[in-house]
Structures are given as structure tokens and as C-alpha cells.
Structure 1
Amino acid sequence: MANDRFIGAASLLCVLALPVAASGQEVGGRAYEQTGLSAGGFTVYPAIETGPAFTDNVAQSPDDRRSDIGLRIAPELKVRSGWSRHSLSFDLDSEHVLYARESDEDTNDVSLNGAFRLDVRRDLSAETEARYSLSDENPGSADVPSGAVGRVQDQSFGGSVGTTYRPGHVVARLRGTIDWYRYGDVDLGDGSVEDNSDRDYMAPEIELRVGYDVTPAVRPFIAVGYGPRIHSHKTDRNGLRRDSQGVSVSAGIVLEPSSLWSGEIGLRYELRDYDDPALKTADVVGFFGSLLWRPTRLTDVRLSVDSGLDETSLEDASAVRYHSATLGVSHRLRRYLTATGELSYALDHYVGASIDEETWQASLGLSYSIDRQIALVAGYRYTLFDSSVPDRDYTENRVTVGMRLQR
């Protein structure tokens, strides 16, 4: 474990050293950015990355490390409206890896998001959003049985409707959201299947948020929200009623887009009380939001943080209290050459079960643009998973190379 942490620390130093090592390579312009395809009042930005991916621990196993090579396919699609009023956007990001020997360990990650804003008046707008995600559950998670074979895929479907009112310097937003979470069944080593349908749940929420424009670029805000969680089964596999009622209070600051800063960050408190008296009331205090800092015209630094309460199926746990943070750096060494680095950390604490899970990831990337449509890409990612549950820890080194095609 000491060696693993040393490697992680070394990766962090490499990430933080990227903009320093590249200083002095001052060049201008974003000559190789996507231009997109015009389609009526919209601009469409398609792209795809493909190439081999190598891993030294394809199953992310603590004691049965098997290396494999696979084909990585990562399509993207972005659509933006060009209207003078109202706006419509669509985003698709996905990554699929098909392995040569361990097909049960093929990975799939998909994220879809569509948003529409209707400008009713100068000071009043209505917004609606729809989203979908497909992801692989961490094999080391305490919610995944130790005898699991292959990947467990989870899905979520969601949407929101809201309105924003801007009377003078005040910005008030009322938004209602609803999300459905569906957990995939687990194939076990003895040939049986664990039914995870008792983990499925629906999460409606309503939130009121009020901000004030102190300056054109700075807006502090406060928000309150209420949201129950309703499971598809009245009781779970352990006979527990996991439906709950939750409230949240948050405060933060919005930085309107500028040449230096943009984004928002805040502090949130969330409390959740469960229908079953055997489940302990859970709460969390933590940061949320994302910030973009541009210290030079060649460098972007991104920070994203989040915290909250997730569901779990463990008998002794009422919730998973999570905190996560990601720091990323992108620097253009030349007009055609971009280096990236990222460090992320996530902590999951199972409330009532005293289980802690830590995930560290450090990655480096390089993109060499041949022209606006073609680029050569390469990346490296190191993952360290550390759990207080015995025989769950693992590390993984992953290398990808390939080509990016875009318009």
C-alpha cells in the first residue's frame, strides 16, 4: 500500500507540474478547435476517438490481476442552437471498451443531456432538461458481492422543469426534478444471479434558489430543497423499508463567465430520515459546484467538487455519505499540441456500517492535432481503490492511444 500511495503522489506531482513545465511556450489562438457543421439554426459538433486500450487489471481485482487489451470507441455529439432568443442544446458523451480475452469485463459509459430555455420576457425564462446515464458500478464497492462475475451496469433517467425570474439584481429560480435509478442484476460465480430490483428508486425534488448580483460578475445565492426517495419495492432484501424524506440547505457564489473565472461553488447540508426506524438518520455537510480558472490564454484549470447521500443495500447501513473532488489542468504546448492532467479523489462512508471506501485517480493525456479534423491522442490513468472491507483493495494502470476525428 505504501508503494501504491507513492505512485499516486508522484502522479499528482506530474499533474501539477504540467503548466510549469510548459511555461514559456507562449503561442496564440485555438487554431484546431472544432468548427462544427451548420444545420439550419443549429451547429452540430460530432467527434469520435478510437484505438487500443491496455490495462494490467481488467477485472479491477484485489488478488487476481489479469491484463488485457481492448478496442476503445468514444463517440461524442454536441448540438447548439444559434437563436437570438431561447436556446436548445444536446450533449452525448460515451466510452466503450471491448476486450480481446475478458469480454465479461467490457466497459460502457454513456451520458446524454438535453436542455431547452424559453425566454418568456426579458426578466423571465422557463427551462426544461432531460438526461440519461449508463455506468459500470465499481467492482470493489461493498454493494457488489465478492463473488460477482463481470460488470454490473446501472442506469438513471431524469428530467427537470423550472423557471427563473430576474427582477433587478435579484435572481430567483424554482425548479422541480425527478430521477429514476435502476441497478443491474449481478452474475455470480456459482452461476446464479442476484436480483437488484429492490435497489431501484425514484427521487423527485423541488428547490427554491435566490441570488443577488453584487456585481455583474459575482452573485451569492442561498437555496432550500425537499425530496423524498421512493423505492420500487416496499421492503428490500433484508426486510427494511428504505423510503425516506430529505431536506437540504445550501449557500454559495456564482461567477459569471469572464476571461479569468467562471462557474459556481457552494456549501450544502443535507438530512435524510428513513421510514424504517432500524435505519439511522443520515446527514452530510460538503461542497458542491465547479470552477474554471484561466491563468493564461494557454491554460485552463478546472475544479469540481460534490457531496451528498446515496442509497445502499447493506443491512447495517442507511446511506452512503460521499465526497468527491477533481482537479484538471489543460495546457497548449503548441497550437497543435495539448497536454492534460487530472487528479480526483472520492470518499464513500456507509452510515451505520462504519465502512469507508477511497478512490484515487491520476491521469495524463496528450493530443497532437494534424488539422482541424484529425488528432492523435494518448493517455495514462492510474487508479487506487482502498476499502476498509478486507480483500477489496485494488490498483489499475490503463494506457490508451488512438485517433480523434471531429468536425
Structure 2
Amino acid sequence: MGSGPARGRNRRVNSFRALLPCLVLTALLPALADAQTLTPDMLRPVRGGFVSLEDSPLRKIAPARAEGLPEPSGDPRRTPDKPAPSRIGQLPTYGTPAANGAADVGYDSLNRKRKKPKYYPGQARPKPPVGPGSQPPPVAPVVSGRVRIAPPPSEFANKTPLPPAMAGTVAGQPLRKRLKLDDDPFGAVGDYAGSFLLKGAVELSTGYDTNPGRLAAPQGRPFYVIAPEFLAVSDWERHAVVADLRGSFNGYGQNLTPNADGTPLSAPLDIDRPGFTGHIDGRLDVSRDTRLTGQGRLLVATDNPGSPNVQAGLARYPIYTTVGATAGFDQNFNRLQVSGGATVDRTDYQWSKLTDGTKSSNDDRNFTQYGGIGRVSYEVMPGLKPFGEVQADRRVHDLYLDRNGYARNSTGGYVKAGSSFEFSRLLTGEIAVGWAERSYVDARLPRLQGLLTTASLVWTATPLTTAKYFSDTQLVETTLPGTAGILVRTHTFEVGHDFRRWLTGIGKFSYGTLDYQGNIRKDQTYSVSGDLIYKMNRNIWLKGTLRRDWLESNVPGSSTNSTVVMLGVRVQN
């Protein structure tokens, strides 16, 4: 235990030691508070890696160096007599300055102006804004000494919104399927009835024919034509049904004048003639390679004017009808295709009405035909498919003997070989050559035979010009005594050109031969025509036709000629 004064002194020393930390903190608090206050000048980099305080003499060094001026003297770091500045309250910086290695064309985070970049040949370049309303490149704003890059503008900014049908694509929506190019912008559109596409049309025409009866002494008459059409096509994923029906009626409104000497005309007095041709085709897809096919058909017509089958003294043409059906199949064996079918057709003639008021029977011209047809084809390459076809039939007449005492029952057929074409859609169709013949029960009738030619070719020479070639051979019945039949061959050449999509010109030339086997008669026919079609819209067309027909025969008084002028309108849907 010490004396009293010593104990008091020790007590004061201990109290001072306890208060010393508080005094030190009290003295340093203002300095520490000032050290935590940052100003923009503190962010300027200077030599030595420190940022000066408000009262630091180093503030004058960095601006001078940045502007290329001589540095002010009196740097305390270079004066050995003065101590180095205290690091208390100074903010150190680390690393290299911003954009130190960006060279001349690199990215600069401070957004300073740089040189334009150079590109190698073929190198992709950024696309500049195009058109009015385009957004300029984003500007980097500076906030409190820090750089903030603005986000790029939206691709839909400053653009008027468009409906999806016009814009084509919308963000977040699947791509729309491109519409198919309309090959016929003035063609009929049609209407749907269930799963069938229906198209209808009617042509109304009027004109003048210099020799409608095809007489040796021409008698001209004005005429009118009404020609309706109907087409129905199924729209199914499998199977198919197609109905194509076309009719016509030629009305003259005035009968021909009888001969002054009282001899009958080689044409009826009433020369009005109806016509109809139609067929309904069906296909049943049993499997990918097997199909069942069927067809029903109807033909309504009269004998052609000028034909020797026309009776003398007729009041009007007798009408005949042919109704038929076919049932068959198609079978594919890879590239090999085999087709076959059975056919039956029935032909009936009306009774003839004569000028004296009596009627004459045509039952001897009525017959039923039974037959079959087979075809084999092989696809050598895409667009080239050769084939071979054979057909046989038997005709049975209602009357065993005709009006002249000849037995007209017969058997016949044909064989032909050819190929179908489809080269880049420029040449399509098929062509074939063969032989056809028919043998009659009556030995007095010779065999009807001859070279068979069939063709149906379409050549698209240019997008605006199309050339077509058609050829056909038929064995036709006749009532001439001692004549087996008529071997009829026809060849048609047609060229169509679109001067405009709405203005089309068509030129046509036809040539035919009629060989009356068993008879000395030989006929040749020629026809030249020109059509001009003005398509007002999809529903209304205007049409003009000029045609010249010739019939040259080796029989005296049988040659005829005629000129036809016709104007019409076509209404379709």
C-alpha cells in the first residue's frame, strides 16, 4: 500500500489512460467524415494511382497532362525536403484506364469518337438506318461520372401496325404459308357445295352462217347458240369424283327453202340441232398402288350437215343418243402400271320425220357395243412414260338386216403404242400410232381398217403463248349400201396468245379425211378459224369468231363451203 499522494497520482494516470482512446476518436472523426465524402474530382486518374482530395495540389497535374500542357512544378512527391502526402482519405485505383487497349477502332466504354472501322472484302457490314423515321444509334448518357448504354430501339418503333394478312408475319406467330400464284387471273372461281367445287358457265352467241345446211347451192341464215357448261370436282384426301357436262343448241329460227323443181334437199328444212356430251368419272383408292375406276357417259347429237347418212326429204335432223359405262382398275408395280376395264355402250336413233308428214324408222341403226380395254405403261424417267394399249369390242344391232338388206353386226378393235410426256410442264400430253379394223358378218361388206393416230399435246412455248395439237381416228357406222363404214381421221393445230392477260387471240386449223371403204367416195375437210376473247372480269367474257369451212369430195355435187361470223358473251362462276 503506498502513501496517500502516490495513490492519488496513480488514480489520475489510470483515468487518463482510459480517456485517451476517446480523445483520439474524437479528434479523428472529422477527418474520417471528410475522407468518406467523394466529389467528381476524386474520380480523375493521376500519376501515382491516387485521387486527390479537395485541397490536394495534385488536382492541377491531371488536367494539364490531359490537355498536353507542361505539368506545374512543386509536385510534393518530387521534393525530397517535404514528406510524401498522406494516404489517409485517398481512393486508390487499380488496373489500366478504361479503353486502354481498344486501339483505333475497338469498343470504348467512355463513348469517345473513334475512327471508322475497316472491313475486308466480302466482310459483312452493319446496315445503317434506312428511310424516314429510322432511329439514330443510341447515345450513352453520363450519370454521376458513370457511363450508361441506352437499350436499342424496338424494331417496331415508329412503324404503323399492319394487320397480319398484310404484314405477312407477326412476332410470336408462325410463318404464314405463301399463297399459290394464280395461273388464270380471269378464270372462274366456282363455289363449294360440301366437299365439291362447282363451276358453271353459259355462252350466248349470235351470228350468220352462209351455208348452214352444207348444200351445193348455199342458203345463208342467221343463227343463235346457247351452250351451258357444268363442272364438279371432289376435294377429298382420298378417292375422287369428277363430273364434266357440256351442252349446246344451234337455232336458226327460219327453215330452208325447198328446191323450186320439187326435188328433195340433201338437208332437212328445219336445221336446228341440239348437242350434249358429258361424263362422270370416279376413282376408289383401295391402297397406295391399287385403284378402282369407273365412268358413266352420255352423248346427244345428230348426223353432221352434208353427211351422206342424212336421208333426203327430212323435215328435221333425227337425234341419236349414246349411253355408256366403264368399270376398270389401275395397278402399280413400282414403275410398271397395268390398267384394264370392261365397257358397254348403247346407241339409239329417233324416228325420222319427213316433209310429207310421214315417219321413217331408224331401228336398223340402233346397236349395243360390248368390249374391253387393257393398257400397260412403264415410267422410264420422270416425264416419259411409254405405253401399249389394246381394245376389242362386238356390235349387235337391233335388226339383223338394215334397210338395204346388209347384216351390220361386227367385231373389231385396235392396237396402238405411244408415250405420254410431261417435260418441265412445257410439253404435256400423249401421242400414239397403231392399227384399227372391223369385220362384218355380211361377207359382201369389206373389212374396215386403217392406220390409227391419236394425239393430245400441249406445248407452252412462252408464258403467253401456247400451241396445241390434237389427232383422232374413228370407225363410224354408215347406211350407204355396200359400204362397210367410214374411217375418219382428224388433225387440229391451235395456237393461243395472250396480248394481255385480259385479251386472248386463238388461231385454229383443222384437216380431216373421210374414207368410205367399199365405196368410191373420198372426202377431205378443211377449217380455218380465229377467235378473239376479251375478259372483262372473272365472270364475263366477250368473244368474237370468224370461221371458214370446206368440204371437198370426189363425188360431183357433194363439195360445199361455208363462212361463219359469230359474236357472243360468256357468263361463268
**TM-score scaled by structure 2?**
0.64
- 1:279 deviates by 1.3
State the SS of the aligned residue for 2:364: helix
Q: How does 1:2-401 map to 2 (within 5 A)?
A: 30-63=184-217, 65-102=218-255, 104-256=270-422, 258-401=424-567
- 1:327 deviates by 1.4
- 1:191 deviates by 4.2
Q: Distance in 2 between matches of 1:78 and 1:219?
A: 29
Aligned amino acid, residue 101 of structure 1: Q
Deviations 1:177-228 (A, max 9, x none): 1222223443444444332220111122111111110012111111222211
Aligned amino acid, residue 84 of structure 1: E
Deviations 1:273-330 (A, max 9, x none): 1111111122111211311111111122221111132211111111211111111222
Deviations 1:214-266 (A, max 9, x none): 01211111122221111111111122111111132111101248521221111
From the superposition, tell whether residues 370 and 266 of structure 1 become closer, same or farther in structure 2 (CA, over 3 Å): same
> In 2, are the aligned partners of 1:257 and 1:263 still within 8 Å (CA)?
no
Aligned amino acid, residue 382 of structure 1: R
Deviations 1:96-122 (A, max 9, x none): 122232381112221111100111111
Q: Distance in 2 between matches of 1:154 and 1:111?
A: 12
Q: Distance in 2 between matches of 1:115 and 1:258?
A: 27
> In 2, are the aligned partners of 1:207 and 1:223 still within 8 Å (CA)?
yes
> In 1, are the aligned partners of 2:416 and 2:452 still within 8 Å (CA)?
no
Higher strand share: 1
- State percent identity of aligned pairs: 30
> In 1, are the aligned partners of 2:488 and 2:515 still within 8 Å (CA)?
yes
> In 1, are the aligned partners of 2:515 and 2:521 still within 8 Å (CA)?
yes
- What is the aligned residue count? 379
- 1:165 deviates by 0.5
Using the TM superposition, name which of 155-164 and 186-195 deviates more: 186-195
- 1:156 deviates by 1.4
Using the TM superposition, name which of 185-194 and 362-371 deviates more: 185-194
- 1:149 deviates by 3.9
Aligned amino acid, residue 57 of structure 1: N
- 1:270 deviates by 1.6
Using the TM superposition, name which of 193-202 and 253-262 deviates more: 253-262
For the pair shown, the structure with the greater C-alpha radius of gyration is 2
Aligned amino acid, residue 249 of structure 2: H
Long gaps (5+) in structure 2: 1-181, 256-268
Aligned amino acid, residue 35 of structure 1: V
Q: Distance in 2 between matches of 1:266 and 1:29?
A: 29
Deviations 1:26-79 (A, max 9, x none): xx952211111111111111111113221111322111x222222321111111
Q: Distance in 2 between matches of 1:107 and 1:183?
A: 14
- 1:140 deviates by 1.5
Long gaps (5+) in structure 1: 1-27
Q: Distance in 2 between matches of 1:61 and 1:185?
A: 23
Aligned amino acid, residue 381 of structure 2: T
Q: Distance in 2 between matches of 1:128 and 1:257?
A: 29
> In 2, are the aligned partners of 1:110 and 1:135 still within 8 Å (CA)?
yes
Q: Distance in 1 between matches of 2:429 and 2:343?
A: 21
Aligned amino acid, residue 216 of structure 1: P
Q: Distance in 2 between matches of 1:51 and 1:270?
A: 38
Aligned amino acid, residue 45 of structure 1: K
From the superposition, tell whether residues 68 and 271 of structure 1 become closer, same or farther in structure 2 (CA, over 3 Å): closer
> In 2, are the aligned partners of 1:188 and 1:194 still within 8 Å (CA)?
yes
Aligned amino acid, residue 240 of structure 2: S
Q: Distance in 1 between matches of 2:353 and 2:550?
A: 24
Q: Distance in 2 between matches of 1:32 and 1:290?
A: 25
Q: Which runs of 4+ in 1 moved over 6 A?
A: none
Q: Distance in 2 between matches of 1:281 and 1:296?
A: 46
**TM-score scaled by structure 1?**
0.88
> In 2, are the aligned partners of 1:72 and 1:95 still within 8 Å (CA)?
yes
> In 1, are the aligned partners of 2:303 and 2:309 still within 8 Å (CA)?
no
Deviations 1:327-365 (A, max 9, x none): 122221101111112111221111111211222222111
Aligned amino acid, residue 485 of structure 2: A
From the superposition, tell whether residues 257 and 193 of structure 1 become closer, same or farther in structure 2 (CA, over 3 Å): farther
State the SS of the aligned residue for 1:104: coil
